[in-house]
Structure 1
Amino acid sequence: MEQIRGIEIVEMTFDNKDDYECKDQPFMVIGRLIPKLENGIWSYHEELYEQPYESKYPEHEDLDEYINSNDSIAFLYYSRRKCLGHIRLGTVEETKFASIDRLIVLESSRGKGIGTALLNKAREWALQKGMQGFTLETQDVNLLACRFYLKNGFDIGAVDTMLYSNSKYKDENAVFFYSKF
């Protein structure tokens, strides 16, 4: 258990998994990230919207698969015994990247370093598992998340314009981010 100034980051267990109350947390869509690949190098610019709106993605996954597993884990971030966020990830042995499946911070607690603290804890675990970096996917319209990952040393590695084409998110593109350790 890591404890810093009344803060704890602990592994999710069957005993504490119900502490996780961050399900279906909304986020503000203030614009979109527009990546561009030129000569093998990704660049990007932002398109800001005149009318931001709130969105959220439903929680689909069974958290049990992250508990007592050799190749996946979830960490919970507590402050004053209240769970304010979590990160879920697993190993991809073939690529040596740890895949971040979900990183969520309560809306009222964003911008306070919680996401970065969870990334750091996840990095420790990934290194212990022999991983050499992170991979994750987020939507181009989740511009605040894209900014967070870029600020934390992630690079754009790919964009998929078809992934959501048959869903209600058909106007969104998937952006794949990578961070090498």
Structure 2
Amino acid sequence: MDKSREIEVVEMTFDNNGDYERREYPFMVIGRLIPEFQNGKWSYHEELYEQHYESKYPEHENLDEYINSDYSISFLYYSGGKCLGHIRLSTSDETKFASIDRLIVLESSRGKGIGTALLNKAKEWALQKGMKGFTLETQDVNLLACRFYLKNGFEIGAVDTMLYSNSKYKDENAIFFYAKF
């Protein structure tokens, strides 16, 4: 098989964890998702910005907790031997939701199905662990991520307007998404 075209999603181990570059990956802010809760249901609309800007969030240096654990895992997406993305998850026996702690696809590789492939692999693992769905949090200004999760069957479960109030991201709101299996 031609190694340059080979695609695989594999569990992160101590041997391959160096393949994932630990750095702050930027994303383009093109607007924000504005959720609204009425009559017991969430709806939303988008506010698009005239001026786009780049943002990024700090990356955790130590990913050892996601290796050889019964409660958390990370998967790496490879194409042609190069790591183009990863997903990190942890489980909650109490809620039966697997938390997507981070999902990153290299900017040059976005829009090519890598995020969805990582979600699919994560779902296999979560189901094996007895989880009933996913949960995650992202910022309202990460509109492209919000669109991705909504397109992949997630729904808004909550909004927190205070989570970032004491940080440099004080003008952002946290949106909690859920997907039930």
TM-score bucket (shorter structure)? over 0.9
**Structure-to-structure mapping, 1:34-53, within 5 angstroms:** 34-53=34-53
Counterpart of 1:161 in structure 2 is 161
**Structure 2: where are the runs of 5+ without partners?**
none
Deviations 1:49-106 (A, max 9, x none): 0000011111025200000000100000000000000000010110100000000000
Percent of residue pairs identical? 85
Counterpart of 1:172 in structure 2 is 172
Q: Distance in 1 between matches of 2:91 and 2:178?
A: 14
**Structure-to-structure mapping, 1:54-73, within 5 angstroms:** 54-60=54-60, 62-73=62-73
Counterpart of 2:12 in structure 1 is 12
Q: Distance in 1 between matches of 2:28 and 2:50?
A: 13
Aligned pair 1:139/2:128, yes or no?
no
How many positions carry a matched residue from both structures? 178
Q: Distance in 2 between matches of 1:135 and 1:20?
A: 23
Q: Distance in 2 between matches of 1:100 and 1:108?
A: 22
- 2:29–2:143: 8 Å Cα contact kept in structure 1? yes
1:10 partner amino acid: V
Q: Distance in 2 between matches of 1:7 and 1:124?
A: 18
Deviations 1:116-146 (A, max 9, x none): 0000000000000000000000000000000
Q: Distance in 1 between matches of 2:70 and 2:61?
A: 18
- 2:22–2:60: 8 Å Cα contact kept in structure 1? no
Counterpart of 1:151 in structure 2 is 151
Deviations 1:26-63 (A, max 9, x none): 10000000000001100000000000001111102520
SS in 1 for 2:101: strand
**1:23 Cα shift?**
2.6
Q: Distance in 2 between matches of 1:141 and 1:23?
A: 20
Q: Show structure 1 runs of 4+ deviating over 4 A.
A: none
Q: Mean Cα displacement is larger for which, 18-27 or 35-44?
A: 18-27
Q: Distance in 2 between matches of 1:130 and 1:98?
A: 9
Provide the alpha-carbon RMSD of the alignment: 1.2
Counterpart of 2:81 in structure 1 is 81
- 2:22–2:61: 8 Å Cα contact kept in structure 1? no
- 1:22–1:84: 8 Å Cα contact kept in structure 2? no
